[in-house]
Structure 1
Amino acid sequence: MRKIYTIIMYALVPFILLRLVWKSRGLPAYRQRIAERFVWNTSPSSQVDVWVHAVSMGEVVAVTPLVERMLAQNLRVLITTMTPTGSQQVLTRFKSQVAHQYVPYDLPWCVRRFFKRYQPRVGLIMETELWPNLIHQAKLAHVPVALINARLSDHAFGYYHRFRRFFAPILSELTWIGAQSEQDAQRYQALGATPSQLTMVGNMKFDLSVAMTSSDVLNQFKIKWGAHRPVWLAASTHDDEETQLLSQLARIKTAIPDILLLIAPRRPERFQTVYTLVAQQGWNTGLKSQPDTIRADNDVIVLDSMGELMGFYALSDYAFVGASLVPIGGHNVLEPIAMQVPVFCGPYMQNAKSICDELVKHQALQHCLGAEDVASRLIALHQNPEQRAQQIAAASHVLQANRGTVDKYWRKIEEIMV
């Protein structure tokens, strides 16, 4: 089965390259560093102790506390990502402290060169990235690989289960699987993982590391837009979510006249599109990269930068977390919670179901039916300061009660490395 898959992958290479070119129309970084994806880069070999694969920005944020633990032990760390946003997050958070490149395409000769170049003592793959040749070649290179913070959404489980005969041998080549929840552990076992491979560890996102832009820089924005104004941050939004939220803005402003909406699109290639969308609807719109457009009469400001979200959460009074009004599955609601901000999300939170369920159980998250419900709940919460304080306190309690997962992962990784 893996041989058939490999033949298909080779056949797809021209289309993969065309896709990179296509995506680079919106984000030029996609056509840069393509050689890394084939391990054609001519940089000298550099042996590392730990290789960590975090597919994109969210996974890099989640694994940061674990990487910081490794660096504190003077371990040499390589982080691979698949997307430019993930790459930028690595560079922002770690600068030259870690080695970094894009993960190689899942072709045997690419991944062989990769392991020959870096010779890691252990490989750690975040969440759900099951690349057959990558995992198989690691086995041949005597590199133990663990799947950490492992999860399987309903959609992913359905897909993998249909091809169970193909994925079961891949799972058998993993040294260990650390699952986020009992349900995730059961799902991996249903795909063919053995009980001896599996441990329910918990979700390391609860141990998130807060990385912020300088408060002096951020406070300049707050002074410009008006320090007295209530601020609602719509974070990590995707296509159509901005339209849905903007449809409720007039109603919200009727109840909260001086409210300011900050919109932080998830993908850099959408920054200008979102700015144009907001401006065309007639809202007084600012753009973060153009300070002269930031004024006290702004209705909306589009945050067209990366790596500063935590800082803007700190300046906000309410947060909506994106990918949840459209069927993508939701982003990290724990980041605004860590900044003491009450959080709203839409109905589509399957990528963080266990976290969402825990927060809702403790009345620590506003899990809304849609954009209209978001608006209604935001207005109600603003008019009830006591309830707002209770939600913040409940969310902080859930966050603190679930910390410590990184310690458990680290102890197991040390065992594997020995």
Structure 2
Amino acid sequence: MRYLYTLVMYLVTPLIVLRLALRGFRSRPYYWRWAERFGFFRVPPGLRGSLWVHAVSVGEVNAAEPLIKALKRDYPGAPVVVTTVTPTGTARVQQLFGDGVFHVYLPYDLPYAVNRFLAGVRPRLALIVETEIWPNLYFACRRRGIPLMIVNARLSERSLRGYRPRPLRGMVRAALGCVSLVAAQSRNDAARYRLIGAPADRVVVCGNLKYDMPVPQEALAAGARLREHWGARRPVWIAASTHEGEEQAVLEAHLAVLQRLPDALLLIAPRHPERFRPVEHAVRSLGFAAGSYGADGMPALANQVFVIDAMGQLMPFYAGAGLAFVGGSLVPIGGHNVLEPAALGTPVLVGPHTFNFEEITTSLIEQGGALRVPDSAALGEAVLHLLCDDARRHAMGRAAQRVFERERGAVGRLMRLIDAQLQE
């Protein structure tokens, strides 16, 4: 089956390249560093024995941040290699670590590309973050004797169904047989990995790395400055990581909020950079006093809506806002990271589609730190009620922060498992 899979990969490669080119029309970074996606890159000296972490995009990079810092701390002599798939993930790696790690794009799952990549990186250990099962890559690691761990492993019910069709089942099972250890986020994730073929004795529950992300004190300070700038009593909410199909609902919700709270401010942060311009256009077309930075580098006080057109800048705005709606949840994307606002004590709203973060979201809702709205029509009403109820909003923020603090510790557990792998 893997040989058929490889043949299909070769046949569809021209289509993959075409898709990459088309995406480059909307986001220029997709044009850059194409060769790396086929295993061609300049290998810096001293990579032998590297610790390789693969994090597909922004969310996985953020989850991996405390792990990468722990690897650099505990293995100071080992170079750390980080691979991503998306330009936004690449930008986040550079923002977090600069030259402290070696970054390269993960190659497509073609044998020659994978082998060229591994020959250049020469990893001592491979750590795949969350859910990335690439059969040729996994088999190549086994042939070369590279221990491979899936860390912070998660598998939603939706993804489980995708891996279970009969033609894929045997290949996925064989690929997971190449994995030394699956460190799952939860018991449910562990059970799903076993269902798709991970050997039961190689699956453990380790917790969610995202609970161990650092709470940046500078973000809290920046949030306090933002609140002071726009006024401590001004109603402010943020819609973060929004997708096409959500921004219009968010803006309509804000129109409803403004009818009751005319000085309310909406901060909106599209998930992808190519959405910045369309969202700014939508804001102006609806007649909002649209956002820009003032001379002091702060959102102008006259703004009714401010579009955050930068990646990796959410934390200060989460800290400054009174309420956060986390996107990807009104449309069937599966939701995004609700822990960032929770860590800062900001109450959370989500839509009905949160299968990517189901257990975290459910825990926050059950403990009173988050609310789920059934559809876009209910968003404005929920935002308005919470912005008008300071006591409930503050109680939700404290509850969200307690959930975040209670679940910390996954990095320590995972580092003990990594130490054991490296000593074998």
Q: Which string of whole-angstrom CA distances, capped at 9 and with x for unpartnered residues, describes residues 232-264 of structure 1?
A: 111000001010111122221122221100110
Unaligned runs of 5+ in 1: none
> Matched residue of 1:262: which SS?
strand
Match of 1:206? 211
| 2:100 aligned residue (74, 97, 107) | 97
Q: Which string of whole-angstrom CA distances, capped at 9 and with x for unpartnered residues, describes residues 76-133 of structure 1?
A: 2111000000000000001111111110111111111111111111100011100011
Q: Which moved further from structure 2: 243-252 or 24-33? A: 243-252
Match of 1:65? 66
Q: How many angstroms does 1:42 deviate by?
A: 3.1
Q: How many angstroms does 1:159 deviate by?
A: 0.8
Q: Which string of whole-angstrom CA distances, capped at 9 and with x for unpartnered residues, describes residues 325-384 of structure 1?
A: 000000000001111111111111000011011111111111111223222222222222
| 1:351 aligned residue (347, 351, 356) | 356
Matched, 1:52 2:53: yes
**d(CA) in 1 for partners of 2:69 and 2:117?**
23
> Matched residue of 1:122: which SS?
strand
Distance change (3 Å), C-alpha of 1:273 and 1:225: farther
Q: Which moved further from structure 2: 371-380 or 51-60? A: 371-380
The answer as to whether partners of 1:286 and 1:293 remain within 8 angstroms in 2 is no
Matched, 1:260 2:261: no
The answer as to whether partners of 1:57 and 1:89 remain within 8 angstroms in 2 is yes
Match of 1:106? 109
Match of 2:240? 235
**d(CA) in 1 for partners of 2:308 and 2:248?**
16
Distance change (3 Å), C-alpha of 1:292 and 1:86: closer
Matched, 1:339 2:338: no
Q: How many angstroms does 1:293 deviate by?
A: 10
Matched, 1:140 2:143: yes
Distance change (3 Å), C-alpha of 1:290 and 1:89: farther
Q: How many angstroms does 1:198 deviate by?
A: 0.6
Which residues of 2 match residues 153-232 of structure 1 at below 5 A? 153-162=156-165, 163-211=168-216, 225=230, 228-232=233-237
**d(CA) in 2 for partners of 1:20 and 1:28?**
10
What is the TM-score with the length of structure 2 in the denominator? 0.94
Match of 1:23? 23
Q: How many angstroms does 1:39 deviate by?
A: 1.9
Q: Which moved further from structure 2: 317-326 or 377-386? A: 377-386
| 1:397 aligned residue (378, 399, 402) | 402
The answer as to whether partners of 1:48 and 1:78 remain within 8 angstroms in 2 is no
The answer as to whether partners of 2:325 and 2:349 remain within 8 angstroms in 1 is yes
Distance change (3 Å), C-alpha of 1:25 and 1:93: same
Q: How many angstroms does 1:210 deviate by?
A: 3.5
The answer as to whether partners of 1:326 and 1:348 remain within 8 angstroms in 2 is yes
> Matched residue of 1:286: which SS?
coil
**d(CA) in 1 for partners of 2:327 and 2:402?**
23
Q: How many angstroms does 1:14 deviate by?
A: 1.3
The answer as to whether partners of 2:241 and 2:271 remain within 8 angstroms in 1 is yes
The answer as to whether partners of 2:324 and 2:341 remain within 8 angstroms in 1 is yes
**d(CA) in 2 for partners of 1:23 and 1:195?**
40
Matched, 1:118 2:91: no
Which letter maps to 1:19?
Answer: R
Distance change (3 Å), C-alpha of 1:264 and 1:286: same
Distance change (3 Å), C-alpha of 1:118 and 1:292: closer
Which letter maps to 2:266?
Answer: L
Match of 2:307? 302
> Matched residue of 1:247: which SS?
helix
Identity %: 39
Matched, 1:416 2:415: no
Q: Which moved further from structure 2: 368-377 or 319-328? A: 368-377
**d(CA) in 2 for partners of 1:289 and 1:404?**
41
The answer as to whether partners of 2:324 and 2:349 remain within 8 angstroms in 1 is yes
The answer as to whether partners of 2:264 and 2:304 remain within 8 angstroms in 1 is yes
The answer as to whether partners of 1:288 and 1:305 remain within 8 angstroms in 2 is no
The answer as to whether partners of 2:349 and 2:371 remain within 8 angstroms in 1 is yes
> Matched residue of 2:26: which SS?
coil
The answer as to whether partners of 2:224 and 2:319 remain within 8 angstroms in 1 is no
Which letter maps to 1:102?
Answer: Y
Distance change (3 Å), C-alpha of 1:107 and 1:24: same
What is the TM-score with the length of structure 1 in the denominator? 0.95
The answer as to whether partners of 2:207 and 2:409 remain within 8 angstroms in 1 is no
**d(CA) in 2 for partners of 1:204 and 1:134?**
24
Which letter maps to 2:414?
Answer: Y
Which letter maps to 2:71?
Answer: M
**d(CA) in 2 for partners of 1:139 and 1:201?**
23
| 1:76 aligned residue (71, 76, 79) | 79
> Matched residue of 2:182: which SS?
strand
Unaligned runs of 5+ in 2: none
**d(CA) in 2 for partners of 1:274 and 1:289?**
20
Q: How many angstroms does 1:386 deviate by?
A: 1.8
**d(CA) in 2 for partners of 1:110 and 1:324?**
35
> Matched residue of 1:396: which SS?
helix
Distance change (3 Å), C-alpha of 1:54 and 1:228: same
Distance change (3 Å), C-alpha of 1:32 and 1:290: farther
Distance change (3 Å), C-alpha of 1:102 and 1:212: farther
**d(CA) in 1 for partners of 2:232 and 2:111?**
56
Match of 1:362? 367
> Matched residue of 1:232: which SS?
strand
Q: Which string of whole-angstrom CA distances, capped at 9 and with x for unpartnered residues, describes residues 253-284 of structure 1?
A: 12222110011000001100100011011111
Distance change (3 Å), C-alpha of 1:50 and 1:221: same
Which letter maps to 1:14?
Answer: P
> Matched residue of 1:128: which SS?
coil
> Matched residue of 1:285: which SS?
coil
